[in-house]
Homo-oligomer: A and B are copies of this chain.
Amino acid sequence: MLNETSLVAPDIQARYSSTRALTEALAAPLSPEDQTAQPMPDASPTKWHRGHTTWFFEAFLLPGLPSYRPYHPLFGYLFNSYYETIGPRHPRPQRGLLTRPGTGEVASYRTQVDEAMSELLAGPRQPGTTFLAELGVQHEQQHQELLLMDIKSLLALNPLRPRYHREIADDAHPSPALGWVELAGGTGLVGHDGTGFAFDNEQPRHRVVLRPYAVADRPTSCGDWLGFMADGGYERPELWLSDGWSTVQREGWQAPLYWESGEHGWAVFTLGGLKRVDPAEPVCHISYYEADAFARWAGCRLPTEHEWELAASEVGLAHRFDPGRAHPRPMGVEATGAAGQVWEWTASAYLPYPGFRPSAGAVGEYNGKFMVNQHVLRGGCVASPPGHPRATYRNFFAPHCRWPFTGLRLARDL
């Protein structure tokens, strides 16, 4: 999974430090009150993200440091997310009721673990330590993204319209032209090749057969989406999957999440405040159901995850999709979800690759046990930490989820 020799000690130590610091920087603009509340069961308080990522190192790495004493006997109970083999957990929907430990004590917890990790990583390492440390870093990077999408969902519920960061420009530009990248299909290889870090769910690399296809050279824009809405997209059941249509009706969806109809047209709540919907930006905060309905309306379809990966990795998609360019603005400062790249829903259900083997031990619960009732998203988003996404990365959410930074890219048969 991870080639141990490909990561040298200074690298992981530096990566550990900078990742931990970035989490704190992301939390810094938030008050103790902001860090405590939980807007819905799917989203966690900032304070909990800070504690949970710390617990990950304490639970999986620090038993390897003989001198280490856990910070508190109950923090494992409070900050374990879903590792059944580690032990019982505080119920997820009640994370917002844990007013203690407070933000200050969580900071102390982080400091203690950071000091111990520094000692652990500086000394001679047991086999697997480097991998687990890297896994912990990657895990914390995932939570940095979750922290931002969760705090956005909380602030959006406040009638005071609080901002996470400074106000952003209220621009509006025309939707750019849409081009297509054509691919010949045939037999291709998908999945991670083992060079550098990858999650277990990206492996094994394997052959797939594809028909000739084309993918759009940019994500669907807000301008495109306004066309869908103007054409009755949210009122026409023939465009929707059955589960999608019943969700539209039950939830009263009429636009992407965070969009509001106002006197001057559609506005959108962002981490920088309320602003006009900019037709040029990728549409964001849509469910799989909406992505699928839009594609059907457009006479297209969503790409499979294999189509997406081969287009991204083999053809290059220069000037179109480039994981290295996924963060045109400093992450965390203007992570608006409406101004940047978005995770792209694919047509593929989240299932194991042929020959999939979960990682050994408790971290084997990391990915495999979620392989049902989810769809794969590819790419990365404005909230993804730099260097975190890659072409083989398999993100996943349930089809109704809209609070992540989710969009789509069209595909079609040739």
| Given A347-B351, A351-B348, A373-B373, also A99-B207 (CB < 8 A) | no
| Given A33-B99, A158-B98, A187-B209, also A84-B355 (CB < 8 A) | no
Taking CB atoms, residues of chain B closer than 8 Å to A82 are 242
Taking CB atoms, residues of chain B closer than 8 Å to A288 are 372
Stretch at the interface among A128-136, A233-241, A268-276, A277-285: A233-241
| Given A33-B103, A34-B99, A349-B351, also A94-B157 (CB < 8 A) | yes
Residue of B nearest to A245 (CB): B84
Q: How far is the CA of A399 from the CA of B371 in the complex (A)?
A: 12
A interface, size bucket:
35 or more
Residue of B nearest to A47 (CB): B33
A172 within 8 A of B: no
| Given A160-B101, A211-B355, also A371-B34 (CB < 8 A) | no
Residue of B nearest to A354 (CB): B211
A97 touches B373 (CB 8 A): no
Within 8 A of B (CB), among A78-97: 78, 82, 84-85, 90, 94, 96-97
Taking CB atoms, residues of chain B closer than 8 Å to A237 are 84-85
Taking CB atoms, residues of chain B closer than 8 Å to A372 are 241, 243-244, 288-289, 292, 375, 399
Binary flags per residue of A287-303, CB closer than 8 Å to B gives 1, else 0 = 01100100000000000
| Given A102-B31, A158-B100, A209-B208, also A36-B36 (CB < 8 A) | yes
| Given A238-B84, A349-B349, also A209-B207 (CB < 8 A) | yes
Taking CB atoms, residues of chain B closer than 8 Å to A157 are 94, 97
Residue of B nearest to A375 (CB): B372
A370 within 8 A of B: yes
A36 touches B39 (CB 8 A): no
Taking CB atoms, residues of chain B closer than 8 Å to A399 are 372-373
Q: How far is the CA of A286 from the CA of B351 in the complex (A)?
A: 20
Q: How far is the CA of A244 from the CA of B368 in the complex (A)?
A: 13
The minimal Cβ–Cβ distance linking A374 to chain B, given in whole angstroms, is: 9
- A99, A187, A242 pick with most chain B CB within 10 angstroms: A99
B77 touches A159 (CB 8 A): yes
A117 within 8 A of B: no
Taking CB atoms, residues of chain B closer than 8 Å to A238 are 84-85, 365
Taking CB atoms, residues of chain B closer than 8 Å to A159 are 74, 77-78, 90
Taking CB atoms, residues of chain B closer than 8 Å to A326 are none
A310 within 8 A of B: no
CB-contact partner of A240 in B77, B208, B369, B375, under 8 A: B369
A37 within 8 A of B: yes
A162 within 8 A of B: yes
A162 touches B100 (CB 8 A): yes
A32 within 8 A of B: yes
Q: Which 5 A-B pairs have the closest CB atoms?
A: A349-B349, A84-B237, A33-B99, A32-B32, A34-B99
Task: For the A-B complex with A32-B102, A33-B99, A373-B399 known, give 12 more contacts whose Cβ atoms are closer than 8 Å.
Answer: A31-B32, A33-B103, A34-B99, A36-B37, A85-B237, A85-B238, A99-B154, A101-B160, A210-B354, A243-B373, A347-B351, A354-B413
